[in-house]
Structure 1
């Protein structure tokens, strides 16, 4: 199997449309179709179910896609390592990070690191904790800044810092004047929460269980700014990290007194795959900060 055709298969699997994939790849539709036929002949099974003019990745195709992504990632990692050996001050780091760290922590650390290693390039992926873990294991990312700590059996970990969690309430809310509050004090309140399986939602679920709360969840959001916007509008309260900057003046953040109301943020990378020199340099830089 040619490496280029594996790359074509990944694009086709992601679009499930020959015309769109061919346009994205800059090849003709007949060329792409012939490449898919050769791949399926080599594998011995169809990788897509044909429904009209659409393609739908089947169970064989999903297996192939998973391993193609890993194979392509390994080849890219090898090329990066070779490039680094030729010039230790160059290379590429594929960095994944949480949405909630995108407006302050990650940009600041990238700025600081690039002052020391200006020739090292970054491919950035922003996502939820479970998406980040999958990206690392599939080889799409080298290292991540994430929370909570992923499976210790599969990931190496270095803690960067711990941030407290707080209860976000609207201005004028009965708990807004408190200097600290136990989560149990909000047991009767409607909650705005992140969707499962976001990392912060996992931590919030654990806090609810610890406090004996069966929460009334009025909305599940995909990002913290949406949560805080709904809190400001009076839809409910929310458990969020203590904000660093740019807070909504309509939202009051009351620190939680619960001992486990905290979020550990750290660096994670796959135990099964050694870090390439640029990624190791970046990890060492942040670990020594």
Structure 2
């Protein structure tokens, strides 16, 4: 898993209500409001665009904000349409390209998403947020080398960013550079001992080399995870490998109670007699 890094900024400054039409002004004031709910941003941005009373700069910003809201509402097809509208107004908008890349990735259009990401970064090569977000995309798309380059470029500008340190560690792990990855995750843990993902991923790195240290990390991840069952499943597997069957069964049963389902877990629960 990667930690999400904020990408698209709400362009409130561009959405200052300068339209002569009061209705459009009202919609714009919410469309560019950081405090509004995502659903309300989507609704008012759409209504503002439908008025036909926006100047090109306002229309661009409203379309970008609409796309971002629709992405958060898990409507990537409609988000892509909004970004298409923005790019028709300004083909060299790095923000719109990045947003469309995210929408295309969510739709499974990985190749087209990569093209949009590359265009966005080419337009704004010094934008650390864009580099970080493209890195997250590349990591998910199976390109850890490219992801690492992006994370390191972003971290050169934000050396204390824990999300970048975390994501860089994931890329290093994918590249087989386990010692560097573990060191990065240890830095995240030192800065934020409550980061469940850091404990979990460090446990994964340690499992083969030092299973007892990995088990201690899994213990911390389980304690922090609440109702998230994945750390229990993985700790159960390690307990099993260490011959601790009772502890493994307890982990697997608790993961089942929390709603985790997989063929392997289903079989184990049946073996235990539910």
Measured against the shorter chain, the TM-score band is under 0.3
Which one has the bigger strand percentage? 1
Higher relative contact order (CA 8 A, sep 6+): 1
TM-score by length of 2: 0.25
TM-score by length of 1: 0.24
